[in-house]
Amino acid sequence: MKPKDIASYIFLAIAWGLSFLVTLHVVRGFGWVGAVAFRALIASATLFAIARLSGRTLSFRIGWSRFAVLGLSTVTLQLIGLSYAIPRIGTAMSAICVASIPLFSMVISQLWGLERITLRGLTGLLLGFFGMIVLVGFPAQEITQSFILGCIAAIIACIASAYGSNYASRNFKGIGSWEMTIGSFLLGGILCLPLLIVVPVPGIPAPADFLYLFTAACLMSALTYLIYFRLVASIGPTKAVSVEFVVTVIAVLVGALYLHEPLSVLQLIGAAVIITGCSLVLSARPGVPPQTAAE
């Protein structure tokens, strides 16, 4: 990779690795629904403003219904799932779950006939799902209802992200990454708004909460995806998506060292198995469509 690509790769790993910690603060200030709705709308508005100020022409000619499906899967379901899961299972475990997205993506691509599985990919798939069982089944903390619900939410988030990735690959050919990201964040944020009636903002957010919110929206969603899509074009999607593994390592270290989150030895083994499985899956695929939702 060129020095510029290496710098982009490192920046994405650090920004997305720390995003789990930032999300935890945003959820505390705005609730797990408000955190997603406001973050998505701010990110969409930020990218739209940058596009207009830079003179970039945007085209949403394929219709908003497809953007709604993309936003529902990669923003609403994915980010709400993670926002709900992180306070319940921890940033480290949530990040390990996110590393499994390529596994679910391969299953969906097989069902849709977008890719043909290889022996290497099948091996990685089986290893990854075995690692997920170990990760969820042998936690360091007590298995409570809240923990189980958090695990379910994290897995739903990963499946939704994988679905959205394949949906974009099949239905957004010829559509630019700017339009995909702006449209998915906008529609995903709008779809979240009615849920605020059921899960309202818990109170008046503090100034620091707004700082975390804008950091998550502008830096860890809008800016990172501009850099990510440029990196995909420069080094290819398979190498670019491998940044998820470094993200997982950073998030696990933050959770263990800064937040003092417990992880059992078996969970660490499960994490290693998941990453190994995903590595096999990615190396066996001709290309992985870029994830179109924020980390």
Question: How many angstroms separate the CA atoms of 196 and 11, rounded?
Answer: 33
Question: How many angstroms separate the CA atoms of 265 and 139, rounded?
Answer: 9
Confidence of residue 46 (pLDDT cuts 50, 70, 90): very high
Question: How many angstroms separate the CA atoms of 107 and 115, rounded?
Answer: 9
Confidence of residue 209 (pLDDT cuts 50, 70, 90): very high
Whether 33 shows a pLDDT value over 90: the answer reads yes
Whether 80 shows a pLDDT value over 90: the answer reads yes
Residue 181's pLDDT is 86
Q: Report which secondary-structure segment, H or E, holds 210.
A: helix 207-214
* Domain ranges within the chain, ordered by starting residue: 3-284
Confidence of residue 286 (pLDDT cuts 50, 70, 90): low
Question: How many angstroms separate the CA atoms of 257 and 253, rounded?
Answer: 6
pLDDT in tens, 221-274: 888 877 887 776 677 655 666 777 788 888 888 888 888 887 778 878 888 888
pLDDT in tens, 129-168: 788 777 767 677 778 899 999 999 999 998 998 888 888 8
* Single-letter amino acid code for the residue at 134: V
The predicted model gives 211-219 an average pLDDT of: 94
77 vs 133, higher pLDDT = 77
Could you tell me which of 180, 222, 205, 260 has the C-alpha nearest to residue 45? Answer: 222
Residues 6+ positions from 292 with CB-CB distance below 8 Å: 70, 74, 164, 165, 168, 180, 181, 184
Residue 295's pLDDT is 41
Of the segments 62-76, 200-214, 275-289, which one has the largest average pLDDT value?
A: 200-214
Whether 288 shows a pLDDT value over 50: the answer reads no
Residue 291's pLDDT is 45
Residue 282's pLDDT is 65
Whether 122 shows a pLDDT value over 70: the answer reads yes
